[in-house]
Chain A
Amino acid sequence: MEKTEIGIEGNSAGMQDTGRNGGEIKGAELFVKALIEEGVQTLFAYPGGMAIDLFDALYGQSELDVVLPRHEQALVHEADGYARSTGKTGVCLVTSGPGATNLVTGIATANYDSVPLVCFTGQVPTNLIGNDAFQEVDIVGITRSICKYAVTVRDRKDLGRIIKEAFYIAASGKPGPVVVDIPKDIQQEFGSSEYPKEVNIRGYKPNTGIHAGQLKKAMGILNKAKRPVLLCGGGVKISGAGALLTRFAEKTGIPVITTIMGKGCIPSSHPLYVGNIGMHGNYASNQAVSECDVLFSIGTRFNDRITGKISEFAPHASIIHVDVDPASISRNIKVDVPIVGDAKAALQLMLSEAERLQLEEWVQKIGDWKQKYPIRMGQQDQNQDQNQNHRSNGKQTLTPERILRSINTMFPKSIVVTDVGQNQLWTTQYLELDENRQLLTSGGLGTMGYGFPAAIGAKIGNPDTDVICISGDGGMQMNLQEMATAMALELPIIICVMNNGYLGNVRQWQEMFYNRRYSSTCLCYRKSCKRDCLNPDKCCPKYLPDYVKLAKSYEAKGIRVESGEDIEAALTAARENKSGPTLIEFIIERETNVLPIVPGGNALSDMIMEA
């Protein structure tokens, strides 16, 4: 209990301490005490009028770091990247009104990808709530449908309990963001210094066990399978079940397919790993799911990017589904054997029932598909090299695959964070993952502007690991201001901007499905351009901003790379720069596509392999 008085000494300059009875502390002081008892080491926080008491209580204390980003949206992505990369709960603190609403996109992002966050928002005093007070919004009402739980503290005596519950709810079961809204008078009011040790919420009892009978039934089906596959989603990674899954696959000999959120749960170089499923999955994975007789899925919600046309998804298979969230089971895909439970608990039980299956023929068949239709830009590389030879100096073309291949070889122990769009899809296709390399990506909500701030959060949580942000030129501009945060914290992050001057993923759809009508996707466009311009390269105005100069204006390192030969030198220079971030702008071909692709609404077996 020595910690009860934290933040009081030396901070009471202008604040009256009247009302303090023996041992009582302010709400703001209990807030700080709670963070410390929860083991919070880093708080992502942006001050404002209705949070000033909380910041006052944080002033001068030494037990946790307070990070000051430059925008609240980036703030919540930073907490998200921190949480995903460390497994700890990310903690945000912002003020009321616009501070709170700026969190909304990040809360939805974390909610969709099951990231544990506790977001504290300041609120106008309780007697002003509902009066249209300055900087008042009903943030609990706004976030109710995009977070796991949201609550306003209305009584000082509930503050400790609510914070304790918030941390418990965020991290347990299927993790997710929790919003705790604290009115200013509650922050100032004196009350008990007690922070509860235990939680008991009668309406919230996450599943910890697993239904052994159901699992036995599932294993019975699996052990008779002739063409089984394991489909693993992000749930396998969240529960830390990757090693168990790998052992299970090895023991049974069943091939493993992942969603992009699940990629890396088994090393991507493993002979039993097939690849990603879905819209930009590889041919072998999509074909294997279309032909399998048992689909054993763990920790995936079967969203539309995974299934393609629902009626033709795994048409011959008995489907088994393990998920910690009952509501994820039999929602999109009707499941034959539902199993509610944590992936790790399930895999532990499954291992004891596992038998070696005779699958040589099936594995061989998948291997043949994989060999016949690999995901490679190799051919494209060469074609483009030849094209370019006509034009210029015989240099290697700069393709996303070449960039990612260099990252694969140069950064064996690293955290790679993507933005959203083509940069993300190329990364999930080409990045090799194992227990030493981690991938963070906004898979569910697909939030542009996520990558760079999330990389900052990841680096704060993992100072000794190389952190690489892979972004497009569009997404990078959505949270550019965080260059200041990264520089201020002297974070040596490597930012790879793949610049094609387009919002490339939408442009690709326009090219493939909308008759090449590039509506509002060209980022080189200026008012003086022809409106229906279809000739990138020919007469484009200069791209804005100049990323190299921009980096320099933040006193960061900026490098521009225009040919394949220069990739490694740039990455080496970035790795050696320890004083702050390095931004490498890779000028890639303007109209490069992500292939293969399953057009929206098509069956998985109906892929476009080449342009």
Chain B
Amino acid sequence: MKKRWISLFVENDIGVLAKISGLFSGKAYNLNSLTVGETEDPTVSRMTISLTSDDLTFEQIKKQLNRSVEVIKVVDYTDIPIHKKELMFIKAGNLSVEECEEIFRIAEVFRVRIKDYGKNTVILECLQTENRNSDLMRLLADRFGNRIEVVRGGSVAIEAVSMSER
């Protein structure tokens, strides 16, 4: 079992997302995250899919994606250098002054922005890798319990130009 990345170019049509997600559920493939958005060509959408699987299943997933009429191109990002980022917002509420200050310190350490700030509420905008966002989320969940609210977008990824770091 290994974590994999796929960049998928699909027709920007009604039902294509359902087709792709239906393929994963219907064939019992595991899916970590799936993001989708329009590209510079408005007829094409691009998905970034991350999943965990063994080699055999992963080969099968790529083939199944490829044979879908709506899929234009499947690119396997698993073993090539890529840049990947995920957007996460965390809202923490009901904070005391000390807690607010603590969150500011945490933001500094994690290099995330304070996006919004009210009397006793703070919103963090976190643009980091999925793992780093998970770390931050767990830290704040431990610290502030049900006073935080999280929304995550899933990773997007693009092939690197000059670097080999992942």
Contact = CB atoms under 8 A, between A and B. Distances in A.
A141 interface: yes
B90 to A, nearest CB: 35
A334 B57 CA distance: 12
Contact of B19 (A144, A326, A330): A144
Contacts of A197: none
B69 A140 contact: no
Given A201-B69, A202-B72, A203-B72, A144 B64 contact: no
A150 B18 CA distance: 12
B26 A203 contact: no
B11 A140 contact: no
A203 B69 contact: yes
Given A145-B23, A203-B68, 6 more contacts: A140-B15, A141-B15, A144-B15, A203-B70, A326-B63, A334-B56
Contacts of A77: none
Contact of A149 (B14, B56, B64, B69): B69
Contacts of B69: 148-149, 169, 201, 203-204
Nearest to B72: A203
B88 interface: no
Given A144-B22, A145-B22, A327 B71 contact: no
A340 to B, nearest CB: 10
Nearest to B61: A327
Interface string B61-87: 001101111111000000000000000
Interface string B8-34: 001100110011001100100000000
Contacts of A326: 63, 66-67
B60 A327 contact: yes
Q: Is the interface of B mostly helix, strand, loop or mixed?
A: helix
B67 A325 contact: yes
Interface of B: 10-11, 14-15, 18-19, 22-23, 26, 56, 59-60, 63-64, 66-72
Nearest to A206: B67
A247 interface: no
A331 interface: yes
8 contacts: A141-B15, A144-B22, A145-B23, A152-B15, A201-B69, A326-B63, A327-B67, A334-B56
Nearest to B13: A151
A201 B18 CA distance: 20
A331 B27 CA distance: 12
Nearest to A329: B63
A329 B64 CA distance: 11
Contacts of B26: 145
A154 interface: yes
